[in-house]
Amino acid sequence: MKKTNQPASHPHPSLSAGSRRDFLKSAVLGLGAAALAGGAPLAAAPFGALSSDGPLSATRPRKPGQKPVHDLTTKPLEKVRVGIIGLGRGATLARDMAGLDFVEITALCDLRQDRIDRALKRIRAKSPAQPKLYTGSENAWEKLVAQDDLDVVYVATPWEWHVPMAVRVMEHGRHAFVEVAAAVTVDECWELVDASERTQRHCVILENCCYGREELFVLNLVREGVFGELKHAECAYIHDLRAMLFNLDSEGNWRREYHKKLDGNLYPTHGLGPVARYLGIGRGDRFKSLVSVSSGEHNLSRWLREKTPNAGRHAGERYRCGDINTSIIKTELGRTIMVQHDVVSPRPYSRINALSGTGATFFGYPGRLALDAPASLALGLQAKNSHGWLDEDDLKKMRERFAHPLVRELWAKARGAGHGGIDYLMNHRLLDCVRRGATPDLTVYDAAAWSSVLELSVRSVAQDGAPVPVPDFTRGAWKTLRPAADPLSA
């Protein structure tokens, strides 16, 4: 869902339109339904409207039989056998992993046969794979999950199905690779953590923006110490999706439902994932608290009135989500992160991707880097004061010198792949970790922390921007954990 990452639909493989609406009503609002009796808006609902534990606890105790998975290693594999549920977005993922010589696609599932046919065509252009196919039933995905020859299952379906499917995948002994956001509610985030710890299977969030060329460049600058002490980051998902939200054959058709129900940051992870990696969230620092405010709702209603999409079939719809949501996260180490969401305004695409440290500042869209003059001289650049961005030549030198190893090794192969090549890097890196038996870059604790911002922002908006605590999904392990020993190896 980015400028170079044009949205691909996440059609549900086994959910009819009617049952999808029913599921949304129960899964999105959860126990808040009782609080909303009588038509009270969600913004007026009690603090515990979305999660069943009421006021958020700082953490939850680990249940008997569960073990941490921060550094979970597994048996190396000669081939990684993959199944995919949901062949809208999943078809693009299938195409990009089909060319990996250590991957075998063994199963595909979607309710629609035409999507299966399209995915097969893309796969067979790169691979002789003959995957088993599951369709024609709302429960077809359960048969895929039970298939014997699987190591990893990709879940590329609407949000409300991510957790039920991922948990079932892990209970069958497979690793779950889940599209973004991995969960809608804080309770669901804990479900993923508990399931991964109970089954000792990986639950990976498929946040492809972590593998953008620019994001990997900034990550490498951080790891090489160029920024010094980190103190602030800014990120966003700014993308005018008004037309897509009314496209009946895209994910917009179900994502629009969330705009009716919730007011907050509905899509935090594209911007937040990369900056969380820069800051070592979960490994040396953690999200501590969040405040969130939303503007009024204007543009989606205006689009509906003026465009009358789909021959007026949406007449009467009302939207709760404000046009622009701005959330501020404070971390345990005292750093701050601004996270913004705006998918209905006439604005150029941006994820902002900004990072400030004691020695450097970076802002994306377009990429700009400022260094203290001593740092510039030490790096062999033209001396500057701290008021200016590096000129084009010096920035080019920095990009070449600090290019991430994954980009150096794989970028030539990634060109032409999904979302400007970053899908290829993501698939290669994460599946190669499974092949080697190593811990993937993105663990279940990342999936939970990043995804929890959706509900937490809704809670804060409902309280007029009051701070809400962010649960510690690592159960204290963040204090001693550090980034993986070989985070930059390809």
The percentage of residues in the chain with a pLDDT greater than 70, rounded to a whole number, is 87
What is the rounded CA–CA span in Å between residue 207 and residue 178? 9
Helices (H), 333-463: 373-378, 392-401, 405-414, 422-436, 444-462
pLDDT at position 482 is 86
* pLDDT winner (highest mean) among 24-33, 321-330, 475-484: 321-330
200 CB-near residues (< 8 Å, 6+ apart)? 67, 69, 72
Kindly indicate the confidence band of residue 415, based on its pLDDT and cuts at 50, 70 and 90: confident
Section 9-14 average pLDDT: 35
The domain tally of the chain equals 1
Section 415-423 average pLDDT: 91
What is the rounded CA–CA span in Å between residue 16 and residue 429? 34
Domain assignment of residue 284, yes or no: yes
pLDDT at position 231 is 98
377 pLDDT exceeds 90?
A: no
Domain assignment of residue 160, yes or no: no
HEC readout, 297-340: CCHHHHHHHHHCCHHHCCCCCCCCCCCCEEEEEEECCCCEEEEE
pLDDT at position 384 is 65
Q: Which domain, by its residues, includes 235?
A: 210-421+440-479
Mean pLDDT, the chain, rounded, equals 89
What is the rounded CA–CA span in Å between residue 219 and residue 258? 32
DSSP state of 260: H
Domain assignment of residue 175, yes or no: no
Sheet holding 230-238, edge to edge: 368-371, 360-363, 354-357, 230-238, 336-342, 325-331, 287-294, 468-469
What is the rounded CA–CA span in Å between residue 325 and residue 12? 27
pLDDT at position 383 is 58
Higher pLDDT, 52 or 232: 232
Assign residue 344 the CATH number of its domain: 3.30.360.10
Section 218-224 average pLDDT: 96
pLDDT at position 437 is 97
The percentage of residues in the chain with a pLDDT greater than 90, rounded to a whole number, is 81
Domain assignment of residue 95, yes or no: no
Q: What is the pLDDT of residues 229-269, one digit of tens each?
A: 999 999 999 999 999 999 999 999 999 999 999 999 999 99
Q: What is the pLDDT of residues 102-154, one digit of tens each?
A: 999 999 999 999 999 999 999 999 999 999 999 998 899 999 999 999 999 99
Domain assignment of residue 60, yes or no: no
What is the rounded CA–CA span in Å between residue 316 and residue 313? 9
pLDDT at position 3 is 36
479 CB-near residues (< 8 Å, 6+ apart)? none
Contact 479, 300 (CB under 8 A): no
Contact 94, 122 (CB under 8 A): yes
Q: What is the pLDDT of residues 77-91, one digit of tens each?
A: 999 999 999 999 999
Name the token pair of 281: 């969230």
54 pLDDT exceeds 90?
A: no
* pLDDT winner (highest mean) among 16-30, 45-59, 360-374: 360-374
Section 414-431 average pLDDT: 94
Kindly indicate the confidence band of residue 50, based on its pLDDT and cuts at 50, 70 and 90: low
Domain assignment of residue 126, yes or no: no
Higher pLDDT, 441 or 33: 441
Domain assignment of residue 466, yes or no: yes
Total-model pTM: 0.90
Q: What is the pLDDT of residues 152-173, one digit of tens each?
A: 999 999 999 999 999 999 999 9
Section 20-33 average pLDDT: 39
Domain assignment of residue 81, yes or no: no
Amino acid symbol at 450: W
Amino acid symbol at 161: W
